[in-house]
Amino acid sequence: MHIAVCIKQVPDSAQIRVHPVTNTIMRQGVPAIINPFDLFALEEALCLKDRFGARVTVLSMGPLQAEEAMKKALSFGADEAILVTDKVFAGADTLATSYALAAALRRLNEIDPIDIVFTGKQTIDGDTAQVGPGLAIRLGFQLLSYVSSIERIDPETREIIVHRRAEGGVQVLSSRLPCVITMLEGTNEMRFASMPDMFRAARFEVKYWNRDVAGIEDVKQVGLKGSPTVVNKVYAPRPKEVKAQFITGETPGRQADALVAKLFADHPEVASDLVSHLALLAGKGVSK
Amino acid sequence: MTEELKAAGSVSAKLPAERFDVIVVGAGPAGNAAAYTLAKSGLSVLQLERGEYPGSKNVQGAILYSNALEKIIPDFRDSAPLERHIVEQRFWLLDERSSLTSANYRSEEFNKPPYNRYTIIRARFDKWFSQKVQEAGALLICETTVTGLLRDNAGRVIGVSTERENGDIYADVVILADGVNSLVPSRAGLRPEIRTCDMALAVKEVLFLPKETIEQRFNISGSEGSVTEIAGGITHGMLGTAFIYTNKDSLAIGIGCILEGMKKQRVTPSELLEGLKNHPMVKPLIAGSEMKEYSAHMIPEGGYKTLPELYGDGWVIVGDSAGFVNAVHREGSNLAMTTGRIAAETIAALKAAGKPMSAANLAAYKESLDASFVMADMKKYQDMPDLLTNHPQYLGSYPSFISGALHDFLTVDGKSKAEKQHQIFQGLRQQRSLWGMLGDAYKFWRTFK
């Protein structure tokens, strides 16, 4: 079994600030991390490695600095790391990114046929959740998005059964390999790498694939040229200024009364809802 | 998933234990200086860092003293991320609420390259330094905490254990550069627990301000920078100092006091920093700024008398981990780099001569330190921590007396100058006897002698 995991190196969005004067994003000094959602995808792939002895190849499209993220993925136990990098890929939106990654995956598939492509549900910098589905369409693989767990894989029949979170419930889906799985967050916990794996990662030479190696001929499809998305404006939303109110009262009971009275006065609909709810409960009580 | 499968899936089962000439614990200035020097000498070096990346755990004001780094990387100025070179040093006495007494030293000599001191941003500087270490050939592994030292039957240190599975790693010698908390040497019984009276806690904020605003407010231009060192009532009479450093487009502002004092007075570091930031002499300098970074760190200020054994069979200790800080001159990172370099040079020389890393041979490290400015400076101020701890008037009542005296002297209110002088002197006498003052002056002079 061969599994490809597509990861992205992203700025740690928890540490990004907006410049107070120019309103632009201050990226300087913000540490780069593996997109947290991708870690769930990687761990799921590593679990399949443990279960089936699968080979795990980590793939990323990004600048040379992304090597750091690749090495980190290797330390967790990935077998191979390929960084798809080329100047022409710069400025790519999700359409152009999925084009370049799909090309690289096709090339990888020729070398070692891929059974599953994993991605995180979405990235924390773009938040679009489009690249995973884009890869499935471009590769002609089955698409299993928002997967919370893999129930069963039968390597013989190539059947796969997964749990997928949908609005209002969980779908249990049966599909077949090869497929693209986008993993939901919180589904597993990344393992703690062993010391020998840390050494292997530190010494590993990440493979670099440029557009030629990835088999991309039409440069109009990648990078800024291949990206129909236009960023119109970047701005920080102003937080709503609501003044805190202090409810006074001699005893906690009085304070609670005052709070309820205030809530009912400000939101009459809450009061009427509560009254009808209580009436309903009372009615049930009577019928018993 | 069973344990056997886990082992089969990882490479750990197949490889023999890792072995190096040297293991350096920590990737701060001391560890980087040591690892760089050793790797350049052709030794196999493993550097282990607890943080996510080199610099992620490190905090400093920060001033870089060129001399210490020049001796390691002579052409550092070509590639290191430097903020501003220092042309002016301001010494301030700030009372608790309202006044400022200052002495400035500025010289055009400081404007002539090669510059002697720079402000730096440690996160960037440490990344650069670590890059140099790796280019020199050392193997760096981050996010790995050393939990203990491995010893042979004779008690010689032969490597380190880490928190990771199959985490034992072997080396001929271990350099302990694990910083102020010095957890590895403490756990290994190589140094006594650090006392709260020997440890300062400093807090710092990096405040963003446009370049032009900084240059205007601090009377600097181009890549010029200034350093403001602050003492006085602003520390609530505790043993400590504060600072304001100018970066390119930010200010570093911080304050530090001995932990013991904070414990006794129940003052939190953030309260001290807020007091400093809201002082009327400081407030206009930082007005309109946005906080980019808040950090806190400890500084080992016990001085010469608290230095532990510096070497043993298979190990040496360098930098903050040993307590190499000159609290009087606000020097630490330069001592860290210098002790790291000298330890590395000692080890490289032993290796070249084919000698074992025994305590007897590693004693050469201490001998070199004794012959350098490091130990000379440490010894010079060895009585200072005790003096200031036992006589808080040096940083408590004397500074506030000076500002009070100047206030009275400069207030024109119809009293004769002779009467004012008499009043001021009487005021001082109320706080301290004449013999007490003379004694203080003598003791103070002795510690600098």
Boundary-marking domain end, from B267, B300, B333? B300
Q: Same domain, yes or no, for B281 and B415?
A: no
Are B167 and A194 inside 8 Å of each other by CB? yes
What is this structure's pTM?
0.84
Give the one of A47, A196, A202 whose C-beta lies nearest to B166's C-beta.
A196
B5: confidence class by pLDDT, cuts 50, 70, 90 = very low
Residue at A240 is within a domain: no
Residues A9 and A151 in one domain: yes
Does A136 share its domain with A208?
yes
Q: Please give, rounded to a whole number of angstroms, the shortest distance from the CA of B152 to a CA of chain A.
A: 21
Q: What integer pLDDT is reported at residue A286 of this predicted model?
A: 52
Same domain, A46 and A167: yes
At residue B26 the predicted structure's pLDDT band, cuts being 50, 70 and 90, is: very high
Residue B88 included in any domain: no
pLDDT digits (tens, 9 = 90+) for B227-271: 999 988 888 878 888 999 999 999 999 999 988 888 888 888 899
Question: What phi and psi values does residue A102 have, to the nearest 5 degrees?
Answer: -65, -40
Could you say which residues from 106 to 125 on chain B have a Cβ atom under 8 Å away from some Cβ of chain A?
Answer: 121, 123-124
Give pLDDT tens digits for B110-149: 999 899 999 999 989 999 999 999 999 999 999 999 999 9
Number of structural domains, chain A?
2
A195:B6 CB<8 A: no
Three-state DSSP string of chain A = CEEEEECCEEECHHHCEECCCCCCEECCCCCEEECHHHHHHHHHHHHHHHHHCCEEEEEEECCHHHHHHHHHHHHHCCCEEEEECCHHHCCCCHHHHHHHHHHHHHHHHHHCCCCEEEEECCCCCCCCCCHHHHHHHHHCCEEEEEEEEEEEEECCCCEEEEEEEECCEEEEEEEECCEEEEECCCCCCCCCCCHHHHHHHHHCCCEEECCCCCCCCCHHHCCCCCCCCCCCCCCCCCCCCCCCCCCCCCCHHHHHHHHHHHHHHHCHHHHHHHHHHHHHHHHHHHHC
Report if residue A207 sits inside a domain: yes
Range of the domain at A68: 2-221
Residue that terminates a domain, selected from A172, A206, A221: A221
Q: Are residues A206 and A256 in the same domain?
A: no
Min distance B165 CA to chain A CA atoms (Å): 5
B161 domain-assigned: yes
Residue A229 is assigned to a structural domain of this protein: no
How high is the pLDDT of residue B12? 44
Q: Is residue B56 situated within a structural domain?
A: yes
Q: A137 and A95, same structural domain? A: yes
Q: For chain B, how many structural domains are there in total?
A: 3
Do residues A144 and A267 share a domain? Answer: no
Query: pLDDT value at position B265?
Result: 87
- Please report whether residue B162 resides in a domain: yes
| pLDDT exceeds 90 at position B328 | no
Residues of chain A with pLDDT under 50: 287-288
Task: Identify whether B115 is part of a domain.
Answer: no
Q: A171 and A44: one domain?
A: yes
Q: Do A60 and A158 belong to one domain?
A: yes
Q: Is B413 helix (H, G, I), strand (E, B) or coil?
A: coil
Which of B275, B300, B325 terminates a domain? The answer is: B300
The reply to whether A183 and A132 lie within a common domain is yes
Residue B89 lies in a domain: no
* Segment B400-442, tens digit of pLDDT: 777 777 777 788 888 887 887 787 777 777 777 777 777 777 7
- B187 with B69, same domain? yes
> What pLDDT shows up at residue A21?
66
Q: Mark which of A202, A221, A240 sits at the end of a domain.
A: A221
A95 CA: distance to closest CA in chain B (Å):
33
The pLDDT of residue B364 is above 80: yes
Q: Contact B11/A200, CB-based, under 8 Å?
A: yes
Question: Is residue A271 one of the residues assigned to a domain?
Answer: yes
Q: Are residues B44 and B149 in the same domain?
A: yes
- Is the Cβ of B249 closer than 8 Å to some Cβ of chain A? no
Taking an 8 Å cut-off on Cβ atoms, the answer to whether A197 and B12 are in contact is yes
Question: Are the Cβ atoms of A196 and B1 closer than 8 angstroms?
Answer: no
pLDDT digits 0-9 by tens, B282-322: 999 999 998 888 999 999 998 999 999 999 999 999 999 99
Q: Specify whether A199 is located in the same domain as A102.
A: yes
Is residue B40 domain-shared with residue B160, that is, in the same domain?
Answer: yes
- The pLDDT score that the predictor gives to residue B1 is 39
Does B258 map to a domain?
yes
The pLDDT-based confidence of B447 (bands split at 50, 70, 90) is low
Question: End of a domain among A171, A203, A221?
Answer: A221
Q: In the predicted model, is pLDDT for residue B3 greater than 70?
A: no
Residue of A nearest to B14 (CA): A196
Specify the pLDDT at position B7.
42
Assess A31–B contact: CB distance below 8 Å, yes or no: yes
Domain of residue B426 covers 385-448
Residues B27 and B60 in one domain: yes
Handedness of CA B260, B264, B265, B270 (dihedral sign): positive
The predicted pLDDT at position A20 comes to 65
Domain final position from B278, B300, B322: B300
Is B139 in contact with A47 (Cβ distance < 8 A)? no
Judge if A18 and A119 occupy the same domain: yes
Residue B239: per-residue pLDDT: 84
